[in-house]
Chain A
């Protein structure tokens, strides 16, 4: 593993068992999460971004499994990396990582809280489970955490039940819970999708503070390119189980190279000049179902730069456009050679 990399995914394949048939969901992705950075996994529904994040904590649904690949996790620089992929799904090792060194926040915050216990007790429980502290210390820490995520009156909130919290407050409480044990990595799966725009802005602000002040490393899963632009350092664009382009956020937004990335960016309505109501550039067709995956580059039936006989036969190899910008597309096949020669 490279220096300064916390988590490294190597050629990860994930399959769905559909009545005995193996349907690939994720087909060989490579990713690196540098310490203190926010990596955004971006894509439309069904691209495999959520499944990938669940695979990191081995929280995959029963019929979905990792079929090959490595997930190397190194909590601190001086430790040797652990490969998460072959661990027992319910074993001791993964449980000591889950919630402790890597934790996750979800789209629907209500699902991670039990309605019959106080918020404070539920977060305190996580702390006591992983860290050797007394109940009083745990409680103090919970109040600290609630304060940190911007919950007003944390001393009072700690004794409240989840139902008395609004959606935004619950999302904050969930972030507090996921921070309880000082994890090295925070995985956020569409954390703001279900929220109103003003609440979303607040949650994004909190997450940005975590990144800036605590140097928290995050994997941020979303379909919202606006949110990506606001929070991410590194971006990986996924389409049908593959990463088609990845690079730093400014590269992806200002210099997109994959036709899919280009069309995604031009498909979103922007607030630029409203008097000029240009038509949005849409991508024709729709994302095929997992059962009808097109051969070769899965995007080719919707792509304007489709090269017959090429794109529909084989998935394009990596084209390293620059040391930090990587794309999988045949139109860039030769660009790389120019750079390297």
Chain B
């Protein structure tokens, strides 16, 4: 697997002289020194990779129910069997179904006599990759049986597969939300910073007003207003817009303050004296100069939107079954009973933690790298 980090060829020493570098190269060198940011970058790359290839990487279709393995825990992958024989090909122990004599529920029990070897690129349930290419190849699977790395939920659906599909939805909600927020923030912040005066004053007061509204009730109200009969795609789009409505304020502030600061910079004065029109100054001189700061801010805004989506879905007001998102998956782990019986349902929460931390690390590293002349 290649991450963008590793894909960039190691620069030769002679090429590493700061004299010759472009701005982005300089930023990259500085970013590289930030070890946590690199780790974050790798984590993000992994998440993005699994989001993109969710169908292939998951052994099951997320809606598929395994009646032989209902509400059961993660299956361990082994190299040594119960007699301590080494197997080059990893395997899972087979499971057989029994009925609990007390509760009369069907339960799955480990059968150590039979091994299900893990094979790669196996055929399984058919699916359409990105809804386009029909195939039945899965990255891995257990020959002769099934494998549930993170266990199954009460309906027998594979939590691992669902987590991967959820990663796609959650990350894309974040991405679309951030894009909306970015556009709104850039335009509104740009207007405030460029025109200044009363317009600036009004916009700033509006932002302060929006930020002073307690966010959770606002989200609740907005999403409660969504019609119940909407399809999950419509809900998905509506949710991203709702998240963007909150997210833009922060970006707008950054754009405004950067614009105000850059307007006073010597190079802007020089551009004005050079005869540049206002439009030319903004597009050619100012925008490239604060692009890096915007990217930093977007990186930092991303986890906010991720968490917001999760909270909404967790409360049942965001995305709903059968759509998968991290919040939707955690929705299943809402009561004490399911947590005590099926603690593995909390695993999708780890994805959220990893994603948020990774974004914060990367954001930190980018912030340090963004200033071209700082040490």
Contacts and interface: CB of A to CB of B under 8 A. Distances in A.
Q: How large is the interface on A (under 10, 10 to 19, 20 to 34, 35 or more residues)?
A: under 10
Nearest to B17: A291
B18 A19 contact: no
A289 B18 CA distance: 10
**Interface class of chain B by DSSP:** helix
A21 B13 contact: yes
Nearest to B14: A291
B266 interface: no
Contacts of A291: 17-19
B33 A19 contact: yes
Interface in B1-45: 13, 16-19, 29, 33
Nearest to B18: A291
Interface string B319-332: 00000000000000
**Interface class of chain A by DSSP:** mixed
Interface residues of B, number: 7
Nearest to A21: B13
A292 B20 CA distance: 12
A19 B19 contact: no
Nearest to B29: A19
Contacts of A289: 17, 19
B373 to A, nearest CB: 14
Interface in A93-107: none
A19 B35 CA distance: 13
Contacts of B16: 19
Contacts of B18: 291
A334 B303 CA distance: 71
A61 to B, nearest CB: 8
Interface string A8-40: 000000000001010000000000000000000
A21 to B, nearest CB: 7
Interface of B: 13, 16-19, 29, 33
11 contacts: A19-B16, A19-B29, A19-B33, A21-B13, A289-B17, A289-B19, A291-B17, A291-B18, A291-B19, A292-B17, A292-B19
Interface of A: 19, 21, 289, 291-292
The 9 closest A-B pairs by CB, nearest first: A291-B17, A289-B19, A19-B16, A291-B19, A19-B29, A21-B13, A19-B33, A291-B18, A292-B19
